[in-house]
Amino acid sequence: MSPYELFIGLRYTRAKKRNHFISFISLISLMGITLGMTALITVMSVMNGFQKEVRTRILGVASHVQIGSIHGNLSHWQQTAEEAAKHPAVEAAAPYVSAQGMLSHNQVVQGVLVRGILPAMEDQVADFSKTMISGDLNHLVPGEFGIVIGMELARAMGTFLGDKIVLISPQGQVTPAGILPRLKQFTVVGIFEVGHFEYDSGLVLIHMFDAQKLYRMENDDVSGVRLKLKDLFQAPKVVQELPAMLTIDSYISDWTRQHANYFRAIQIEKRMLSLILALIIAVAAFNIVSTLVMAVTDKESDIAILRTLGASPRSIMKIFIVQGTFIGVFGTILGVAGGMLLAYNVGEVVAFIEGLFNIQFLSREIYYISKIPTDPQMTDITTVAVTSFVLSLLATIYPSYRASKVNPAEALRYE
């Protein structure tokens, strides 16, 4: 592109008395691109923040990787844990016993998932200690039959720290009167609140040795081994590599499979919202077509003079491409700046709006969070910026082509 094409194209973008800042339509196009990009970057950042928040809460309780035996219970779990720990991506390993049960207290019965753990080792693969609101995970002592329950479950059953609660095992015992369920009284030694309803209302923790006794398992048998990885996003790769390192016939799953529905739903929502907001940018970009068509009509005499002075049709195209691209680039820069500024401060902005109008967008009693999470990612910002620039560039093609086809004789006939 020659200097004069760039000079004239930029000159056409400067205001005149009859054309304030490219004209009103071009200003609307610029504002549309800016607002569209700001909204899109902010929404994508908030969706990333919610996804990160949900992932943190779920993986604070669930494991990155679980190893189980295809034959049922896993025997000699110590050997399996040692073999898995040799993988460079594995940070810690812990055994667990998992089974169904029913809790009974004050004539209230609730189905629960029972997890038998070793408290010291469980702290290395989960964050229960950080979520305890009453009691302590280390109060789970073998033989004393203590139990740790979720906050929602404690509220539903009217249970407090120190209360006695009956755990009913579906594995019955044969008696002269028939098959009766196995019952055991436990003492509530802790209450946790993860912030995820599924776990707060349906998961209970007991000591692994107590779980083995209740569910009639051998002392060396467990349901499986839970692994914590240094990088949780490496879980699918680790799942593929672990079987070659283990000496047992194992079934291995990771968090991306166990909780796929949650993250898939968030990802779909993010894509649909992004698509809807991207239409704002597309509309603003297509407004550039109207702006340039009006500019071409207004500048026909100038185009004719340039053509008579020797300018080629390609040069005329470049002049108007510069004019339209300037709107797109300037709007993109403003949109990226506004989007990043709002994305990094969306919590403060929402708090200001809540205080101004005396409303609350996120109730902690419902959502377990009181501040909107945000996680701006450069890949999303770059994608939005490139998309905006490409749409703006494409919008300049037709008006520029039309300008290159202006007939100098026809344009200057009535001048």
Encode pLDDT of 202-216 as tens digits: 899 999 999 988 888
Q: Structurally, how many domains does the chain consist of?
A: 2
- The domain boundary, picked from 200, 224, 248, lies at 248
Identify whether 241 is part of a domain: yes
Q: pLDDT at residue 152 above 70? A: yes
**Do both 357 and 280 map to the same domain?**
yes
**Do both 77 and 176 map to the same domain?**
yes
Residue, of 288 and 119, whose pLDDT is higher: 119
pLDDT digits (tens, 9 = 90+) for 299-330: 777 778 777 777 788 888 888 888 788 888 88
* pLDDT on residue 283: 78
**Do both 50 and 90 map to the same domain?**
no
**Do both 290 and 360 map to the same domain?**
yes
**Do both 323 and 346 map to the same domain?**
yes
Q: What burial class does residue 386 get, using C-beta atoms within 10 Å of its C-beta: 0-12 exposed, 13-18 middle, 19+ buried?
A: exposed
* pLDDT on residue 190: 92
Identify whether 388 is part of a domain: yes
Q: pLDDT at residue 187 above 90? A: yes
Nearest of 231, 234, 261 to residue 58 by alpha carbon: 261
* pLDDT on residue 112: 92
pTM: 0.70
**Do both 408 and 310 map to the same domain?**
yes
**Do both 190 and 102 map to the same domain?**
yes
pLDDT digits (tens, 9 = 90+) for 344-384: 888 788 778 877 877 776 665 555 565 778 888 888 888 88
Identify whether 255 is part of a domain: no
Percentage of the chain beyond pLDDT 90 is 12
**Averaged pLDDT, 42-67:** 83
Identify whether 185 is part of a domain: yes
**Do both 408 and 280 map to the same domain?**
yes
* pLDDT on residue 14: 62
**Do both 301 and 168 map to the same domain?**
no
Contact 270, 44 (CB under 8 A): yes
* pLDDT on residue 147: 93
Identify whether 254 is part of a domain: no
- The domain boundary, picked from 222, 248, 274, lies at 248
Chain-centre distance for alpha carbon 241: 26
Least confident of 26-35, 41-50, 176-185: 176-185
d(CA 244, CA 349): 52
Helices and strands of the chain, counted as H and E runs: 18, 12
pLDDT digits (tens, 9 = 90+) for 258-268: 777 777 777 78
**Do both 79 and 31 map to the same domain?**
no
**Do both 240 and 275 map to the same domain?**
no
Identify whether 153 is part of a domain: yes
- The domain boundary, picked from 248, 279, 313, lies at 248
Residue 25 sits in which domain range? Answer: 4-57+262-412
**Do both 89 and 49 map to the same domain?**
no
